[in-house]
Amino acid sequence: MFARAVAAFSHRVLQTSRRKSLSTHQYLSAAAIQYRSLKEATPEEWKVGIQQFNKVASSSQQAIRMLDMLRVQKGTNIGALVDLYEHGLQTATRAYRDGANEETIVVALLHDVGELITPISHGEIAGSILRPYISQQNYWILMHHEIFQAYYYGDAAGATVDKNARDDFKDHEFYEECIKFCEKWDQAAFDPEYDTLPLEFFEPMVHRVLARRPYTDPELLNDPINVAKSKIAGGYPEAN
């Protein structure tokens, strides 16, 4: 008897979940979307599709997903006295207390969200995601910070690491700012005793930066890939 009741319940759950997944699909196909390849899409279909897309990829959802990339680092032992979640918060707290602007604080908070995904090129992860919304200088710092960080642990690491690899960029206009980012905030943010501010303090800042209109910094438009991407930005969710 009990087994039959369980089976009936499971069947109902299965049917309900099937109805749910079908109903989303049916809404789009029956209501307005028929295309099977992008080149068949009509303006009417596109309008309906982009409205749905904007519901699942709004700027505020982008911010939540980016913050989740930081949260997921919590509790992973990286061989230091703090984890990368704490390290990000502490880097941002130090930047905040030094009077950095909001965008730079957000860059400090999120600079290592890619470190466990691709350690050897992790600056590119945060850099790529934030690039449309931040200055060319902060983008450059994200892309190069791990090279500059080596200066501070190079002696401890020994011959396998060139602590002076940053010298390759000595003549670059953002060289000194990248040193400042690493010296004052990033390399210093491994102290478990530091009075680090909680994530809630920084969350609204992340939302505000990701709500900016993409590719508005004129300097970004010196790079052809940004010019081209700015030309198609209208096809993606508007800031909201």
Q: Is 86 in the site for Fe ion (CB under 5 A)?
A: no
Q: Which is nearer to Fe ion, 181 or 215 (CB)?
A: 181
The piece of 45-53, 68-76, 108-116, 195-203 that touches Fe ion (CB under 5 A) is 108-116
- Residue 186: CB minimum distance to Fe ion, A: 4
- Residue 125: CB minimum distance to Fe ion, A: 10
Q: Which is nearer to Fe ion, 59 or 149 (CB)?
A: 149
Contact in structure between 108 and 202 (CB atoms under 8 Å): no
Contact in structure between 98 and 184 (CB atoms under 8 Å): yes
- Residue 80: CB minimum distance to Fe ion, A: 10
Q: Which is nearer to Fe ion, 53 or 175 (CB)?
A: 175
Instruction: Return the residue of 112, 166, 182, 220 that touches Fe ion, per CB under 5 A.
Output: 112
The piece of 39-47, 49-57, 112-120, 158-166 that touches Fe ion (CB under 5 A) is 112-120
Residue 71 identity: R
The piece of 8-16, 46-54, 75-83, 183-191 that touches Fe ion (CB under 5 A) is 183-191
Contact in structure between 152 and 185 (CB atoms under 8 Å): no
Instruction: Return the residue of 186, 196, 209, 210 that touches Fe ion, per CB under 5 A.
Output: 186
The piece of 72-80, 127-135, 165-173, 185-193 that touches Fe ion (CB under 5 A) is 185-193
Q: Which is nearer to Fe ion, 103 or 146 (CB)?
A: 146
- Which position has the token pair 């350690």? 119
Tell how many helices (H) and how many strands (E) occur in the chain. 10, 0
Give the E-state strand segments of 15-105 in sequence order: none
The site that binds Fe ion (CB under 5 A) totals a number of residues, namely 3
3-class SS of residue 115:
coil
- Which position has the token pair 């904007």? 54
Q: For residue 103, what are the contacts with CB-CB under 8 A and spacing of at least 6?
A: 133, 134, 135, 138, 209
The piece of 33-41, 144-152, 165-173, 200-208 that touches Fe ion (CB under 5 A) is 144-152
Q: What is the DSSP string of 177-215?
A: HHHHIIIIIITT---TTS-PPPHHHHHHHHHHHHTSPTT
Packing angle of the helix pair 59-71, 102-110 (nearest 10 deg): 50
Q: Which is nearer to Fe ion, 120 or 225 (CB)?
A: 120
- The DSSP code for 57 is S
Q: Which is nearer to Fe ion, 103 or 186 (CB)?
A: 186
Q: Which is nearer to Fe ion, 103 or 115 (CB)?
A: 115
Residues making contact with Fe ion (CB under 5 A): 112, 146, 186
